[in-house]
């Protein structure tokens, strides 16, 4: 898909975005369940997805047939307030999607590298290829935990592995992340953006091709990723 061909869905408020995207994802998951018997959903962390996840939890989905994983994770235990797993558990699993099977990334007692290998096995056994992937974007043009100008970025964009270790510019620095190859396996991919500042970053990403400076460009220009962008004009 050319970046100029990416469907852009604009909403006047975040609430409208959350409701529409949740309904769309519910439809995708239900279709996968009908077709295959199970569905896989990969979620991003941070604060932006919280209201969307609460709305998704109320959708009519057979959560018993859904496997949920993470796009990326900070290298902190799930009890930490910085944990993406903790956020998903509190906003989605505790609000109506308790029956879903959650597959986290953090591995107690293992190094990040060994954890990435274990996560790889879990992904291939339960989740991969993915039915739905929800991504966000940072103000620096990163997506997942694929950060600009990092020495590991080239490998994470080119490897055929599904999971790798990355380093963020802010604490907690160590992250586990899906690779571009893993993301590209998805049937449906949604980029969730809120606020005018983020949208200006998105427009800048569309205008150039330097993935080292803005890794989200690798997503926007990938020929196999059926990406759609959901944007709300006002920030929450």
* Residue 41, strand partner residues: 68, 132
Q: Strand 174-178 relative to strand 72-74: parallel, antiparallel, unpaired?
A: antiparallel
- The mean pLDDT of 75-94, rounded to a whole number, is 97
- Nearest 10 degrees: CA dihedral of 120, 40, 221, 195? -110
**Tens digits of per-residue pLDDT, 35-63?**
999 999 999 998 999 999 999 999 999 99
DSSP letters, 137-204, are --TTS-BTTB-TT-TTHHHHHH-S-SEEEEE-SSSS-EEEEE-HHHHTT-SEEEEEEESHHHHHHHHH
Q: Are 141 and 216 in contact, with CB atoms under 8 Å apart? A: yes
Residue 234: predicted pLDDT: 74
Q: Are 43 and 70 in contact, with CB atoms under 8 Å apart? A: yes
Which is nearest to 69 in space by CA: 216, 157, 177? 177
**Tens digits of per-residue pLDDT, 14-23?**
999 999 999 9
- Residue given tokens 């906003």 in the structure block: 91
Above 80 in pLDDT, residue 4? no
Averaged pLDDT of the chain: 96
Above 50 in pLDDT, residue 236? no
- Both tokens of 4, joined, read 């100029």
Residue 3: predicted pLDDT: 65
Q: Strand 188-194 relative to strand 227-232: parallel, antiparallel, unpaired?
A: parallel
- Both tokens of 9, joined, read 């869905």
Region class of 70: left (phi > 0), else alpha (psi between -120 and 50), else beta: beta
**First-to-last C-alpha distance (Å) of the chain:** 30
Q: Strand 163-167 relative to strand 72-74: parallel, antiparallel, unpaired?
A: unpaired
CATH fold label, 3-232: Rossmann fold (3.40.50)
- Both tokens of 44, joined, read 């991003």
In the chain, where are the structural domains located?
3-232
* DSSP helix/strand/coil, 91: helix
**Tens digits of per-residue pLDDT, 178-221?**
999 999 999 999 999 999 999 999 999 999 999 999 999 999 99
């Amino acid at each position: 898909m050319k970046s100029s061909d990416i469907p852009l869905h604009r909403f006047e408020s975040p609430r409208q975005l959350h409701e529409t995207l949740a309904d769309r994802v519910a439809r995708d998951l239900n279709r996968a369940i009908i077709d295959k018997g199970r569905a896989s959903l990969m979620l991003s962390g941070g604060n932006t997805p919280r209201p969307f996840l609460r709305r998704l939890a109320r959708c009519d989905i057979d959560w018993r047939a859904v496997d949920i994983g993470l796009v990326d994770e900070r290298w902190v235990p799930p009890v930490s307030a910085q944990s993406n797993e903790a956020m998903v558990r509190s906003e989605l699993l505790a609000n109506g999607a308790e029956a879903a099977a959650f597959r986290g990334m953090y591995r107690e007692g293992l190094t990040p590298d060994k954890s990435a290998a274990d996560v790889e096995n879990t992904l291939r056994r339960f989740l991969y290829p993915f039915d739905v992937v929800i991504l966000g974007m940072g103000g620096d043009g990163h997506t997942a935990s694929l950060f600009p100008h990092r020495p590991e970025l080239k490998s994470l964009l080119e490897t055929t592995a599904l999971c790798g270790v990355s380093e963020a510019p802010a604490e907690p620095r160590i992250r586990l992340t899906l690779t571009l190859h893993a993301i590209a396996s998805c049937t449906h991919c949604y980029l969730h953006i809120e606020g005018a500042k983020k949208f200006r970053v998105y427009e800048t990403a569309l205008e150039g091709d330097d993935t080292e400076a803005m890794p989200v460009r690798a997503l926007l220009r990938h020929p196999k990723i059926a990406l759609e962008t959901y944007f709300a004009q006002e920030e929450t």
